C-alpha cells in the first residue's frame, strides 16, 4: 500500500517542489506512536523558512508544537527529538488530547534524498533513513537523513555515514535496513555503538498493491471505486463483452477469461482478488488461480451454499485445503450491507482488517488504546483471515 496520509513519501511530490524552490525546509517526522493517535509513525510535516507548510504530523494534535520545533531548527540548524504525551505540559501546549504519546524528530530536508522522493512520487520503491539517536559525542549525526532505497544503489551512504563510531556493526546495520526494504515495512532499526546506541527510523515506500475485481457488475464497479480511493492499483476483468464495454467502469475493463488473466498477473502477499462475477463455472477456476498466484486476500461474492459448491470444485481441482481455507466467502464483514456501495464498504473493511490484523470489533466494546502497537504491513502481506485468527 502507499504510505499513509501525511507520511514523507505521501507528500513526496510537494517536497520535490519545495526542494526545487530553493527555500530551506525543516521536517517534523513522527518516529514512534504509543496509544491513541489519528496517524501512525512516519507522518511528516515540512516547514519552509519563507512560511510554507506541507503535510501533517498528527492530524491537528501537535501541529503548533511541530511548527515551533521546525522554526527552531531553521533558526539554529540543530536537529532535535521531542515527546508529546497526554497530560504533560507539552501536551497541554500542543493540544494532544487523544490519550497517546508521540515521538517526533526535527531534521532538515536534505537535497541528498531527492532521488528517493522522485522514485516515490513516480510510484516506485524508495526508502530514507533519519538518525533518531546517536552517541553523545556524535550529536552531529542526530537528524541526518540518508537515502537508503533502490535509488540509492544498495545502501551506498551507510558505509561512510558512520565512520569512526566505536564498535558499530555495519554489517548488522545494513542487514537491518535491508530487512526493512525487503519487507516494505517502515520502522526503527538500531545497532549497539560502544556503550551507546545508534538508532535510525527507516521509512519505506512501495508501489501500490494490486487489486483485481472479477466482474464488471454494479457491485464490481462500486468495489473498484472504493479500492481506488484506498490507494490500490485496481484492475477490473470480465469475460462477457456486454460487461466489458467502454465507460462501464472508470479506467476501463480488461476483457478475457478471468482465470487466464489472473495467471498472467504478478501477485504477491499484498495483492487482493475479489470475485464478484457469481459464475459457478468460472469462479472456482478464478479462485484457484488467485490462490496459486499468492494473493494475500482472496474473496468471493455469493451465499454459503454457493461457496460450498465452489469448495467441492476447488477440491476437485486439487487445491490444498489450507489454501481453500484462506478464501473469504461469503465476502465482507457483517455490517448489514445491501446496496452495491454498502457492500463495497463491507468488503473493504474486511480487506483492511485482514491486512492489518485488526479485530473488526466495535471500538466501543474494546478497552485499552484505540490504535494498538503493530508493524506497518505496507508490503508484509495479509494477516490470517478473521475466523482463523479469532479461533487461535
Going by C-alpha positions, the residue among 32, 62, 27, 25 that lies closest to residue 45 is 27
Question: Of the ranges 30-39, 315-324, 345-354, which one carries the lowest mean pLDDT score?
Answer: 30-39
Going by C-alpha positions, the residue among 263, 309, 265 that lies closest to residue 288 is 263
The CA distances from residue 209 to 216, 234, 327, 379, in Å, are 20, 8, 18, 8
Residue 379 has pLDDT above 60, yes or no: no
3-state secondary structure of 18: helix
Q: pLDDT value at position 92?
A: 46
Q: Which residues make Cβ contacts (< 8 Å) with residue 151, sequence separation at least 6?
A: 115, 116, 118, 119, 124, 126
The whole-angstrom separation of Cα 350 and Cα 181 is 27
Map out the domains of the chain as residue ranges.
1-109, 123-206, 210-391
Give the whole-number percent of the chain exceeding pLDDT 70. 82
The CA distances from residue 255 to 241, 262, 284, in Å, are 7, 12, 19
Q: pLDDT value at position 157?
A: 62
Q: pLDDT value at position 373?
A: 44
CATH fold label, 210-391: Rossmann fold (3.40.50)
Number of H helices, E strands in the chain: 13, 15
Q: What is the pLDDT of residues 329-364, one digit of tens each?
A: 999 999 999 999 999 999 999 999 998 788 888 878
Find the length of the chain.
Answer: 392
The whole-angstrom separation of Cα 120 and Cα 114 is 10
Orientation of helix 12-21 relative to helix 114-121, angle to 10°: 140
Going by C-alpha positions, the residue among 262, 303, 300, 258 that lies closest to residue 282 is 258
Q: pLDDT value at position 32?
A: 82
Grade residue 89 by pLDDT with cuts at 50, 70 and 90.
low
Work out the burial of residue 15: count CB atoms within 10 Å of its CB; fewer than 13 is exposed, 13-18 middle, 19 or more buried: buried
Question: Of the ranges 141-145, 241-245, 313-317, which one carries the lowest mean pLDDT score?
Answer: 241-245
The whole-angstrom separation of Cα 73 and Cα 80 is 8
Check if the beta carbon of residue 284 is closer than 8 Å to that of residue 271. no
Q: What is the pLDDT of residues 181-221, one digit of tens each?
A: 777 778 888 888 877 888 999 988 888 889 999 999 999 99
Grade residue 20 by pLDDT with cuts at 50, 70 and 90.
confident
What's the mean pLDDT in 117-135? 87
Q: pLDDT value at position 284?
A: 97
To the nearest whole number, what is the mean pLDDT of the chain? 82
Q: Select the more confidently predicted residue: 135 or 342.
A: 342
Check if the beta carbon of residue 46 is closer than 8 Å to that of residue 27. yes
Give the whole-number percent of the chain exceeding pLDDT 90. 40
Q: pLDDT value at position 364?
A: 82
Q: pLDDT value at position 14?
A: 86
Residue 164, all three cell numbers: 569512526
The whole-angstrom separation of Cα 229 and Cα 135 is 43
E strands present in the chain:
25-34, 44-48, 53-55, 80-85, 101-108, 126-133, 145-147, 187-193, 196-205, 210-214, 233-238, 254-255, 272-275, 297-300, 327-328
Q: pLDDT value at position 319?
A: 97
Residue 33 has pLDDT above 70, yes or no: yes
E strands present in 49-108:
53-55, 80-85, 101-108
69: left (phi over 0), alpha (psi -120 to 50) or beta: alpha
Q: pLDDT value at position 70?
A: 94
Grade residue 375 by pLDDT with cuts at 50, 70 and 90.
very low
Question: Of the ranges 7-21, 88-102, 125-139, 201-215, which one carries the lowest mean pLDDT score?
Answer: 88-102
Q: pLDDT value at position 333?
A: 95
Place of cell 498472467: 264
Grade residue 21 by pLDDT with cuts at 50, 70 and 90.
confident
Q: pLDDT value at position 86?
A: 52
Q: Which residues make Cβ contacts (< 8 Å) with residue 196, sequence separation at least 6?
A: 134, 135, 136
Amino acid at each position: 500500500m502507499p504510505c499513509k496520509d501525511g507520511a514523507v513519501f505521501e507528500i513526496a511530490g510537494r517536497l520535490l517542489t519545495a526542494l526545487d524552490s530553493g527555500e530551506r525546509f525543516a521536517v517534523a517526522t513522527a518516529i514512534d506512536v504509543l496509544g491513541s493517535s489519528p496517524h501512525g509513525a512516519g507522518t511528516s510535516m515540512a516547514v519552509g523558512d519563507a512560511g510554507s507548510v506541507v503535510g501533517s504530523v498528527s492530524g491537528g494534535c501537535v501541529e503548533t508544537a511541530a511548527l515551533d520545533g521546525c522554526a527552531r531548527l531553521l533558526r539554529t540548524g540543530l536537529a532535535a527529538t521531542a515527546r508529546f504525551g497526554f497530560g504533560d505540559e507539552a501536551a497541554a501546549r500542543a493540544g494532544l488530547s487523544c490519550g497517546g504519546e508521540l515521538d517526533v524528530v526535527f531534521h532538515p530536508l536534505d537535497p541528498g534524498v531527492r532521488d528517493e522522493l522522485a522514485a516515490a512520487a513516480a510510484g516506485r520503491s524508495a526508502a530514507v533513513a533519519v538518525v533518531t539517536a546517536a552517541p553523545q559525542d556524535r550529536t552531529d549525526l542526530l537528524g541526518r537523513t540518508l537515502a537508503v532505497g533502490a535509488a540509492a544503489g544498495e545502501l551506498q551512504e551507510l558505509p561512510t555515514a558512520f565512520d569512526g563510531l566505536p564498535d558499530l556493526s555495519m554489517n548488522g546495520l545494513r542487514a537491518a535496513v535491508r530487512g526493512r526494504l525487503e519487507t516494505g515495512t517502515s520502522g526503527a532499526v538500531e545497532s549497539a555503538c560502544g556503550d551507546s546506541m545508534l538508532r535510525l527510523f527507516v521509512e519505506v515506500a512501495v508501489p501500490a498493491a494490486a487489486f483485481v475485481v472479477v466482474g464488471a457488475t454494479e457491485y464490481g464497479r462500486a468495489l473498484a471505486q472504493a479500492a481506488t480511493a484506498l490507494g490500490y492499483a485496481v484492475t477490473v476483468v470480465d469475460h462477457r463483452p456486454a460487461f466489458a464495454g467502454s465507460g462501464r467502469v472508470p479506467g476501463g475493463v480488461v476483457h478475457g477469461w478471468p482465470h487466464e488473466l489472473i495467471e498472467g498477473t504478478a501477485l504477491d502477499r499484498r495483492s487482493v482478488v475479489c470475485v464478484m462475477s457469481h459464475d459457478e463455472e468460472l469462479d472456482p477456476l478464478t479462485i484457484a488461480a488467485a490462490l496459486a498466484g499468492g494473493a494475500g486476500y482472496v474473496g468471493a461474492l455469493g451465499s454459503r451454499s454457493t461457496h460450498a459448491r465452489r469448495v467441492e470444485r476447488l477440491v476437485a481441482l486439487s487445491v490444498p485445503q489450507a489454501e481453500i481455507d484462506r478464501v473469504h466467502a461469503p465476502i465482507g464483514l457483517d455490517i448489514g450491507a445491501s446496496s452495491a456501495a454498502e457492500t463495497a464498504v463491507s468488503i473493504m473493511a474486511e480487506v483492511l482488517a485482514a491486512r492489518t490484523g485488526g479485530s473488526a470489533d466495535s471500538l466501543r466494546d474494546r478497552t485499552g488504546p484505540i490504535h494498538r502497537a503493530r508493524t506497518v504491513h505496507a508490503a508484509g502481506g495479509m494477516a490470517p483471515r478473521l475466523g482463523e485468527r479469532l479461533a487461535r
